Amino acid sequence: MIKSKKILSILTAMTVMIALFVGTSNVFATNPGAYTTSVKGHYAHPTTGKIEDSGGPSKKAMGQGMVDSTTYGQGLIEVDASGKMYATVRLNMRESIGTPSFSINGAAVPAKEVQRNAIPDSGDFRFPIPSLNSVVRTTFKVIPMERVVIYYITFAGMNPGNSNFVVNVKTETKEAKVDEKQDNSKNDKLKESKNKALENSKTIFEKANKKIEKNMKSIEASDLDKKEKSAKKESLTKISNELKDLQKKTETLINSSKDEAKVKEAINGLQEKVNKLTEKSDKIAKIEDKKDKVKDKKEEKKDGSSMLYWIIGIVALVVIIGGIFAITKKNKAGKK
Protein backbone atom coordinates (compact mmCIF):
# COMPACT_ATOMS: atom_id res chain seq x y z
CA MET A 1 0.00 0.00 0.00
CA ILE A 2 2.78 2.38 0.94
CA LYS A 3 4.66 1.51 -2.24
CA SER A 4 1.54 2.20 -4.31
CA LYS A 5 1.18 5.65 -2.70
CA LYS A 6 4.84 6.45 -3.46
CA ILE A 7 4.46 5.39 -7.08
CA LEU A 8 1.27 7.46 -7.35
CA SER A 9 3.07 10.52 -5.89
CA ILE A 10 5.96 10.14 -8.35
CA LEU A 11 3.59 9.80 -11.30
CA THR A 12 1.63 12.86 -10.14
CA ALA A 13 4.81 14.94 -9.84
CA MET A 14 5.97 13.86 -13.30
CA THR A 15 2.56 14.74 -14.76
CA VAL A 16 2.73 18.22 -13.23
CA MET A 17 6.25 18.77 -14.60
CA ILE A 18 5.20 17.66 -18.09
CA ALA A 19 2.14 19.88 -17.93
CA LEU A 20 4.27 22.88 -16.92
CA PHE A 21 6.74 22.20 -19.73
CA VAL A 22 4.01 21.84 -22.35
CA GLY A 23 2.26 24.90 -20.96
CA THR A 24 5.44 26.96 -21.29
CA SER A 25 5.94 25.75 -24.86
CA ASN A 26 2.36 26.69 -25.68
CA VAL A 27 2.93 30.21 -24.36
CA PHE A 28 5.75 30.64 -26.90
CA ALA A 29 3.71 29.01 -29.65
CA THR A 30 0.73 31.34 -29.16
CA ASN A 31 2.78 34.54 -29.00
CA PRO A 32 3.63 35.80 -32.51
CA GLY A 33 7.16 37.11 -32.87
CA ALA A 34 10.80 36.27 -33.43
CA TYR A 35 12.89 34.12 -31.10
CA THR A 36 16.53 33.07 -31.08
CA THR A 37 17.20 29.36 -30.68
CA SER A 38 20.17 27.03 -30.33
CA VAL A 39 20.83 24.94 -33.45
CA LYS A 40 22.64 21.61 -33.34
CA GLY A 41 23.78 19.44 -36.26
CA HIS A 42 23.87 15.64 -35.88
CA TYR A 43 25.72 13.25 -38.19
CA ALA A 44 23.58 10.41 -36.77
CA HIS A 45 19.82 10.75 -36.24
CA PRO A 46 19.45 12.13 -32.67
CA THR A 47 16.59 9.74 -31.85
CA THR A 48 17.23 6.52 -33.81
CA GLY A 49 21.02 6.80 -34.18
CA LYS A 50 20.69 5.99 -37.88
CA ILE A 51 23.40 7.31 -40.23
CA GLU A 52 22.23 7.96 -43.80
CA ASP A 53 25.38 9.68 -45.04
CA SER A 54 27.61 7.57 -47.31
CA GLY A 55 30.50 7.92 -44.83
CA GLY A 56 28.71 5.50 -42.55
CA PRO A 57 29.45 4.68 -38.87
CA SER A 58 33.21 4.35 -39.52
CA LYS A 59 33.37 8.04 -40.44
CA LYS A 60 31.11 9.25 -37.63
CA ALA A 61 33.73 11.37 -35.85
CA MET A 62 34.91 12.99 -39.08
CA GLY A 63 31.31 13.45 -40.23
CA GLN A 64 30.32 15.13 -36.97
CA GLY A 65 33.26 17.50 -37.32
CA MET A 66 32.10 18.45 -40.79
CA VAL A 67 28.53 18.94 -39.52
CA ASP A 68 29.73 21.19 -36.65
CA SER A 69 31.78 23.38 -38.99
CA THR A 70 28.90 23.70 -41.47
CA THR A 71 26.00 24.35 -39.09
CA TYR A 72 25.93 27.72 -37.30
CA GLY A 73 25.07 27.30 -33.62
CA GLN A 74 22.30 29.89 -33.49
CA GLY A 75 19.08 30.17 -35.47
CA LEU A 76 15.77 31.98 -35.61
CA ILE A 77 12.28 30.70 -34.76
CA GLU A 78 9.32 32.77 -35.97
CA VAL A 79 5.67 32.38 -34.96
CA ASP A 80 3.11 34.20 -37.09
CA ALA A 81 -0.33 35.50 -36.06
CA SER A 82 -1.97 32.18 -36.95
CA GLY A 83 0.46 30.18 -34.79
CA LYS A 84 2.50 28.73 -37.65
CA MET A 85 6.17 28.23 -36.82
CA TYR A 86 9.16 28.86 -39.11
CA ALA A 87 12.85 28.13 -38.56
CA THR A 88 15.85 29.89 -40.09
CA VAL A 89 19.17 28.05 -40.05
CA ARG A 90 22.57 29.35 -41.15
CA LEU A 91 24.92 27.12 -43.12
CA ASN A 92 28.60 28.08 -43.34
CA MET A 93 30.97 27.68 -46.34
CA ARG A 94 28.11 28.69 -48.65
CA GLU A 95 30.36 28.95 -51.73
CA SER A 96 31.35 25.30 -51.35
CA ILE A 97 27.89 23.75 -51.03
CA GLY A 98 24.99 23.44 -53.42
CA THR A 99 21.41 24.46 -52.62
CA PRO A 100 20.36 22.44 -49.56
CA SER A 101 17.04 20.60 -49.16
CA PHE A 102 15.17 19.91 -45.93
CA SER A 103 12.59 17.34 -44.86
CA ILE A 104 10.70 16.53 -41.65
CA ASN A 105 9.21 13.12 -40.89
CA GLY A 106 9.94 12.00 -44.45
CA ALA A 107 8.18 14.96 -46.09
CA ALA A 108 10.09 17.68 -47.93
CA VAL A 109 9.59 21.21 -46.63
CA PRO A 110 9.86 24.30 -48.88
CA ALA A 111 12.92 26.36 -48.02
CA LYS A 112 14.04 29.79 -49.15
CA GLU A 113 17.46 31.41 -48.86
CA VAL A 114 16.55 34.69 -47.17
CA GLN A 115 20.04 36.08 -46.61
CA ARG A 116 23.55 35.63 -48.00
CA ASN A 117 26.45 36.66 -45.79
CA ALA A 118 29.80 37.56 -47.36
CA ILE A 119 31.97 37.47 -44.25
CA PRO A 120 31.91 34.84 -42.94
CA ASP A 121 30.71 33.02 -46.05
CA SER A 122 27.26 31.64 -45.14
CA GLY A 123 23.61 31.44 -46.18
CA ASP A 124 20.39 31.64 -44.13
CA PHE A 125 17.55 29.25 -45.05
CA ARG A 126 13.95 29.63 -43.80
CA PHE A 127 11.35 26.83 -43.78
CA PRO A 128 8.20 25.85 -41.84
CA ILE A 129 8.38 23.40 -38.93
CA PRO A 130 5.51 21.70 -37.06
CA SER A 131 7.16 22.28 -33.65
CA LEU A 132 10.40 23.15 -31.90
CA ASN A 133 10.99 19.42 -31.36
CA SER A 134 11.24 18.75 -35.10
CA VAL A 135 14.21 16.78 -36.44
CA VAL A 136 15.16 18.30 -39.79
CA ARG A 137 16.85 16.02 -42.32
CA THR A 138 19.36 18.16 -44.25
CA THR A 139 21.08 17.32 -47.53
CA PHE A 140 23.37 19.25 -49.86
CA LYS A 141 26.19 18.64 -52.30
CA VAL A 142 29.77 19.54 -51.34
CA ILE A 143 30.90 21.03 -54.64
CA PRO A 144 34.71 20.54 -54.37
CA MET A 145 34.20 16.89 -53.36
CA GLU A 146 31.30 16.19 -55.76
CA ARG A 147 29.63 14.42 -52.82
CA VAL A 148 26.15 14.59 -51.26
CA VAL A 149 26.04 14.99 -47.47
CA ILE A 150 23.13 13.91 -45.24
CA TYR A 151 22.70 14.90 -41.59
CA TYR A 152 20.09 16.22 -39.12
CA ILE A 153 19.31 19.51 -37.38
CA THR A 154 17.51 20.06 -34.06
CA PHE A 155 16.50 23.15 -32.09
CA ALA A 156 16.60 23.95 -28.37
CA GLY A 157 15.02 26.86 -26.49
CA MET A 158 13.25 30.02 -27.60
CA ASN A 159 14.40 33.42 -26.37
CA PRO A 160 12.44 36.50 -27.48
CA GLY A 161 14.43 38.73 -29.84
CA ASN A 162 16.70 38.51 -32.86
CA SER A 163 20.46 38.74 -33.42
CA ASN A 164 21.32 39.22 -37.09
CA PHE A 165 18.76 37.14 -38.96
CA VAL A 166 16.11 38.37 -41.38
CA VAL A 167 12.67 38.42 -39.74
CA ASN A 168 9.66 37.77 -41.99
CA VAL A 169 6.89 37.15 -39.46
CA LYS A 170 4.16 39.77 -39.06
CA THR A 171 3.18 40.54 -35.47
CA GLU A 172 -0.16 41.87 -34.36
CA THR A 173 0.93 44.96 -32.40
CA LYS A 174 2.21 48.14 -34.00
CA GLU A 175 4.71 48.56 -31.17
CA ALA A 176 6.25 45.17 -31.92
CA LYS A 177 6.45 46.03 -35.62
CA VAL A 178 8.23 49.30 -34.87
CA ASP A 179 10.69 47.62 -32.49
CA GLU A 180 11.39 44.86 -35.00
CA LYS A 181 11.93 47.38 -37.79
CA GLN A 182 14.30 49.41 -35.62
CA ASP A 183 16.21 46.28 -34.63
CA ASN A 184 16.48 45.16 -38.24
CA SER A 185 17.64 48.61 -39.33
CA LYS A 186 20.23 48.67 -36.57
CA ASN A 187 21.40 45.18 -37.42
CA ASP A 188 21.59 46.03 -41.13
CA LYS A 189 23.74 49.08 -40.41
CA LEU A 190 25.99 47.08 -38.08
CA LYS A 191 26.32 44.31 -40.65
CA GLU A 192 27.17 46.84 -43.38
CA SER A 193 29.72 48.49 -41.11
CA LYS A 194 31.30 45.10 -40.30
CA ASN A 195 31.50 44.05 -43.95
CA LYS A 196 33.07 47.36 -44.93
CA ALA A 197 35.63 47.14 -42.10
CA LEU A 198 36.48 43.54 -43.01
CA GLU A 199 36.93 44.44 -46.68
CA ASN A 200 39.18 47.40 -45.78
CA SER A 201 41.30 45.29 -43.44
CA LYS A 202 41.52 42.55 -46.08
CA THR A 203 42.87 45.08 -48.62
CA ILE A 204 45.43 46.41 -46.12
CA PHE A 205 46.73 42.93 -45.31
CA GLU A 206 46.80 41.81 -48.95
CA LYS A 207 49.04 44.77 -49.88
CA ALA A 208 51.31 44.08 -46.91
CA ASN A 209 51.62 40.38 -47.77
CA LYS A 210 52.48 41.21 -51.39
CA LYS A 211 55.20 43.56 -50.14
CA ILE A 212 56.72 40.85 -47.95
CA GLU A 213 56.50 38.35 -50.80
CA LYS A 214 58.34 40.79 -53.07
CA ASN A 215 61.05 41.31 -50.45
CA MET A 216 61.39 37.54 -50.04
CA LYS A 217 61.99 37.17 -53.80
CA SER A 218 64.49 40.04 -53.72
CA ILE A 219 66.53 38.28 -51.05
CA GLU A 220 66.38 34.98 -52.92
CA ALA A 221 67.69 36.64 -56.10
CA SER A 222 70.54 38.47 -54.33
CA ASP A 223 74.22 37.41 -54.25
CA LEU A 224 74.18 36.94 -50.48
CA ASP A 225 75.62 33.72 -49.17
CA LYS A 226 73.32 30.93 -48.04
CA LYS A 227 73.58 31.77 -44.34
CA GLU A 228 72.72 35.46 -44.83
CA LYS A 229 69.80 34.60 -47.09
CA SER A 230 68.43 32.10 -44.58
CA ALA A 231 68.64 34.62 -41.71
CA LYS A 232 66.87 37.34 -43.67
CA LYS A 233 64.16 34.98 -44.94
CA GLU A 234 63.56 33.73 -41.40
CA SER A 235 63.11 37.32 -40.21
CA LEU A 236 60.62 38.02 -43.00
CA THR A 237 58.69 34.85 -42.13
CA LYS A 238 58.34 36.08 -38.54
CA ILE A 239 56.93 39.38 -39.79
CA SER A 240 54.54 37.49 -42.08
CA ASN A 241 53.30 35.47 -39.09
CA GLU A 242 52.86 38.67 -37.08
CA LEU A 243 50.67 40.01 -39.90
CA LYS A 244 48.57 36.83 -39.90
CA ASP A 245 48.06 37.06 -36.13
CA LEU A 246 47.12 40.73 -36.40
CA GLN A 247 44.66 40.00 -39.22
CA LYS A 248 43.01 37.18 -37.25
CA LYS A 249 42.75 39.38 -34.15
CA THR A 250 41.29 42.26 -36.17
CA GLU A 251 38.67 40.06 -37.87
CA THR A 252 37.68 38.55 -34.51
CA LEU A 253 37.25 42.02 -32.97
CA ILE A 254 35.15 43.20 -35.92
CA ASN A 255 32.90 40.12 -35.99
CA SER A 256 32.32 40.20 -32.23
CA SER A 257 31.51 43.94 -32.15
CA LYS A 258 28.01 44.73 -30.87
CA ASP A 259 27.83 48.27 -32.27
CA GLU A 260 29.40 50.47 -34.95
CA ALA A 261 31.65 52.25 -32.44
CA LYS A 262 33.33 48.94 -31.57
CA VAL A 263 33.79 48.19 -35.26
CA LYS A 264 35.57 51.52 -35.79
CA GLU A 265 37.68 50.87 -32.69
CA ALA A 266 38.76 47.49 -34.11
CA ILE A 267 39.94 49.03 -37.41
CA ASN A 268 41.37 52.24 -35.93
CA GLY A 269 45.15 52.50 -36.27
CA LEU A 270 45.38 49.26 -38.24
CA GLN A 271 47.10 50.85 -41.25
CA GLU A 272 49.78 52.34 -39.00
CA LYS A 273 50.45 48.98 -37.32
CA VAL A 274 50.73 47.22 -40.68
CA ASN A 275 52.99 49.98 -42.08
CA LYS A 276 55.45 49.48 -39.21
CA LEU A 277 55.70 45.79 -40.04
CA THR A 278 56.18 46.39 -43.78
CA GLU A 279 58.83 49.05 -43.08
CA LYS A 280 60.62 46.52 -40.91
CA SER A 281 60.37 44.07 -43.82
CA ASP A 282 61.87 46.64 -46.22
CA LYS A 283 64.85 47.21 -43.93
CA ILE A 284 65.54 43.49 -43.73
CA ALA A 285 65.32 43.15 -47.51
CA LYS A 286 67.62 46.11 -48.19
CA ILE A 287 70.79 44.59 -49.72
CA GLU A 288 73.90 46.28 -51.02
CA ASP A 289 75.07 44.04 -53.83
CA LYS A 290 78.81 43.44 -53.38
CA LYS A 291 79.47 43.30 -57.12
CA ASP A 292 77.62 46.56 -57.71
CA LYS A 293 79.48 48.17 -54.82
CA VAL A 294 82.88 47.24 -56.32
CA LYS A 295 81.72 48.33 -59.74
CA ASP A 296 80.59 51.70 -58.37
CA LYS A 297 83.99 52.23 -56.74
CA LYS A 298 85.76 51.40 -60.00
CA GLU A 299 83.50 53.75 -61.90
CA GLU A 300 84.11 56.44 -59.31
CA LYS A 301 87.88 55.92 -59.55
CA LYS A 302 87.70 55.89 -63.34
CA ASP A 303 85.70 59.11 -63.37
CA GLY A 304 88.21 60.71 -61.01
CA SER A 305 91.15 59.63 -63.18
CA SER A 306 89.47 60.94 -66.31
CA MET A 307 88.91 64.31 -64.69
CA LEU A 308 92.55 64.49 -63.60
CA TYR A 309 93.71 63.72 -67.15
CA TRP A 310 91.46 66.43 -68.51
CA ILE A 311 92.91 68.99 -66.10
CA ILE A 312 96.52 68.01 -66.90
CA GLY A 313 95.75 68.17 -70.63
CA ILE A 314 94.22 71.64 -70.35
CA VAL A 315 97.17 72.93 -68.28
CA ALA A 316 99.65 71.48 -70.80
CA LEU A 317 97.75 73.10 -73.67
CA VAL A 318 97.79 76.45 -71.92
CA VAL A 319 101.56 76.15 -71.33
CA ILE A 320 102.22 75.22 -74.99
CA ILE A 321 100.07 78.04 -76.32
CA GLY A 322 101.76 80.46 -73.90
CA GLY A 323 105.20 79.29 -75.04
CA ILE A 324 104.33 79.69 -78.71
CA PHE A 325 102.97 83.16 -78.07
CA ALA A 326 106.15 84.17 -76.17
CA ILE A 327 108.47 82.90 -78.96
CA THR A 328 106.46 84.65 -81.64
CA LYS A 329 106.58 87.88 -79.72
CA LYS A 330 110.34 87.58 -79.22
CA ASN A 331 110.98 86.98 -82.94
CA LYS A 332 108.98 90.06 -83.87
CA ALA A 333 110.95 92.16 -81.41
CA GLY A 334 114.31 90.91 -82.90
CA LYS A 335 113.34 91.92 -86.45
CA LYS A 336 112.71 95.44 -85.32
The ranges assigned to domains in the chain are 32-172, 191-285
Neighbours of 239 (CB within 10 A): 19
pLDDT at 25: 42
pLDDT at 294: 46
**Positive/negative CA dihedral, 77, 116, 66, 199:** negative
Neighbours of 265 (CB within 10 A): 13
Long-range residue pairs from 187-193, CB within 8 A, at least 24 positions apart, any chain: 187/162, 187/163, 189/260, 190/164, 190/257, 190/258, 190/259, 190/260, 190/263, 191/117, 191/164, 193/260, 193/263, 193/264
Which residues are CB-contacts of 134 (< 8 A; sequence separation ≥ 6)? 87, 104, 105, 154, 155
Q: What's the topology of domain 32-172?
A: Immunoglobulin-like (2.60.40)
**Positive/negative CA dihedral, 266, 269, 275, 277:** negative
pTM > 0.85 = no
Which residues are CB-contacts of 287 (< 8 A; sequence separation ≥ 6)? 218, 219, 222, 224
Residue type at 336 in one-letter notation: K
Which residues are CB-contacts of 58 (< 8 A; sequence separation ≥ 6)? none
What is the rounded CA–CA span in Å between residue 278 and residue 276? 6
Return the bridge partners of 156, or none: 38
Nearest partner of 128 among 160, 94, 103, judged by Cα: 103
pLDDT at 261: 84
Neighbours of 111 (CB within 10 A): 20
What Å distances lie between residue 71 and 37, 122, 125, 169, CA to CA?
13, 10, 11, 23
pLDDT at 39: 97
Check if the beta carbon of residue 92 is closer than 8 Å to that of residue 70.
yes
One pLDDT digit (tens) per residue for the chain, 336 residues = 455 555 555 544 454 344 434 434 444 445 899 999 999 999 999 999 999 999 899 999 999 999 999 999 999 999 998 899 999 999 999 999 999 999 999 999 999 999 998 878 899 999 999 999 999 999 999 999 899 999 999 999 999 999 889 999 876 555 555 566 666 777 888 888 889 888 888 999 899 899 888 888 888 888 888 888 889 888 989 998 998 898 888 888 888 888 888 888 878 888 888 898 889 889 888 865 444 444 555 555 556 666 777 788 787 777 777 777 767 766 666 655
pLDDT at 142: 93
What is the rounded CA–CA span in Å between residue 245 and residue 239? 10
